[in-house]
A and B are shown apart, each in its own frame.
Chain A
């Protein structure tokens, strides 16, 4: 088994197609980093904005205090004066926090500052007008997490958006969504999070299918291909199939690890390492939520993504044995994945929709429960994803083994 795995590794190492795709992945990662880096809002910019805001607030405060001493200030202006009065020390604290890298100080001040929003905690939970109660609560909680752990945030922080925000004031939505989309972090850990958000998707599955398709189906089961070499050596027949599976999985893990290292290195080299315990929002049922560290989120996502790949590889193995032709097997598998995806979308409202494995191929939305919120069905959970993909893969692999034995007994 070990030597078969080594053979698979050697095949991959020597394959030009494999190298070209890996190069493509590396170039893609570097290119994406350049994009993220050039779009990351820097601390200096935030600091400068805060200083401008402080100056403006202070000058307006002086003006309002003058008017107050003259007795020409009405009641609403007096409220504004109070807000300005309170906000100056908070702005100063934020500036000091950023200036000295004291993120606890910054987060605390920012959290206090957010509370000025008079609508805070007054909305019913079910109301979907931006900012929703959930959005405000989660933002406060997010800042608390940063405060407790002294974590530098990814800028800009003046907008916060969750999946519950659906109704916006006229003209506000593109601005808010635009600002949220601008939230890029070029530090190592956050860039990895960003990058894997694109890789741990259906597109990533298709990419890995292409990457390994040649190697998986190379032997051309049943033809006069290299399978005949393996069959005339003292090797257990099932070991061939199993070693391929293990090799491809190990190689996938290896590639993901290399991409993670590359992304982290790029971020660390050109920015900073970042924080593996940066908070990632996990939606809960009944408007609850929790935070998990970015590192754990990536780990869970990688796990689910690997199961998605196992599911896809199982289909490829099955058709590889069924059709005896590499290119046909790849074609059918990709078609089936696309059709499966489309079918899953169509049957999203059915009672047992959460059992369909095709739903779990866009990993981030599953791990964060974002998909569950959008579908208003928390059966689409990480746990059900693991179960659905595992059972489906196991069933397909079992079918493949049965088919393989049947084909072997009736060969020629």
Chain B
């Protein structure tokens, strides 16, 4: 078993921060951990990485107890950027990990190219932006090609290009057999990465398959927006006008074929169709409605 967390409970100053967490993962996949701040995501990951103790339960990673430091030959944790040494260069960090993991240092350049940080490999971390630090943390966590990768808020501070690059890298790693547990607030990215989400709320874990909730958000650019608005209203369909030239609607509320049929019948041309999957956010809204409304 890749991850086997059983009935994990942790108390902190009489407050129960993890309430009997269970995670079992048998085959390589990408799993997302989603929840509001303070839900216990980082605490759970830190417990799994043996950075925090817990009161009850057990954790096994790749078939070994989580306290066995040898697991870190195959397990990586991309964590907060405070773990970096400000005075050291990116190269120094990667070289250290290569040395500890007994890897050839030729991997450094390769991983730097892959992550997109080759230009500042020899610069001190102190001078890095948040995004650059995230690049380095990613490089550090994947240089050993781990079988299990835990990532705590990896997309924070990344520009769109870097975020897309990171997503591609994670998908590639997963395809190569790496299991990834990622915590993030970026629900759009989660949607693009996985359909298996663990929602965390007040220390409790709710496993969901997004396939049960996923829906598509369509945006149709039309030849006659005013007319389109009129005919869709007449048909009693629910939609929104975007930028005065597009019609937007969620598939679960409004099936695509009905909209297309209505427009076609009134000789309105559809110039383009954009499709966006919106499962995570939708489920998140349902689960955390009270937090959102407050």
- A residues within 8 Å of B by Cβ? 3, 6-7, 10-11, 14-16, 218, 223-226, 228-229, 231-237, 409-412
Contact = CB atoms under 8 A, between A and B. Distances in A.
Contacts of B85: 11, 218, 226
B209 interface: no
A15 B96 CA distance: 17
A235 B71 CA distance: 10
Interface string B93-107: 000110111000000
Contacts of B101: 233-234
A132 to B, nearest CB: 56
B77 A14 contact: no
Given A10-B88, A232-B72, 18 more contacts: A3-B96, A3-B99, A6-B96, A218-B85, A223-B82, A224-B79, A226-B84, A228-B79, A232-B75, A232-B77, A232-B79, A233-B97, A233-B100, A234-B72, A234-B73, A234-B100, A235-B100, A237-B69
A16 B100 contact: no
B50 interface: yes
Q: Is the interface of B mostly helix, strand, loop or mixed?
A: mixed
Contacts of B79: 224, 228-229, 232
A156 to B, nearest CB: 49
Contacts of A236: 69
A236 B140 CA distance: 19
A226 B88 CA distance: 12
B141 to A, nearest CB: 9
B226 interface: no
Interface of B: 10, 12, 43, 46-47, 49-53, 69-73, 75-77, 79-80, 82-85, 87-89, 92, 96-97, 99-101, 124, 140
A10 B97 CA distance: 13
B245 to A, nearest CB: 48
B52 A412 contact: yes
Contact of B82 (A11, A224, A235, A410): A224
Nearest to B93: A229
B51 A232 contact: yes
Given A11-B85, A11-B87, A232-B79, A411 B53 contact: yes
Contact of B96 (A7, A225, A237): A7
Contacts of A412: 10, 12, 43, 46-47, 51-53
B72 A14 contact: no
B83 A235 contact: no
Contacts of B82: 223-226, 228
Please provide the 7 A-B residue pairs with the shortest distance between their CB atoms, ordered closest to farther: A412-B52, A3-B99, A229-B83, A14-B87, A234-B72, A232-B77, A224-B82
27 contacts: A3-B96, A6-B99, A10-B96, A14-B89, A218-B85, A224-B79, A224-B80, A224-B82, A224-B83, A225-B82, A226-B84, A231-B51, A232-B51, A232-B75, A233-B69, A233-B97, A233-B101, A234-B70, A234-B101, A235-B69, A235-B72, A236-B69, A410-B53, A411-B52, A412-B43, A412-B52, A412-B53
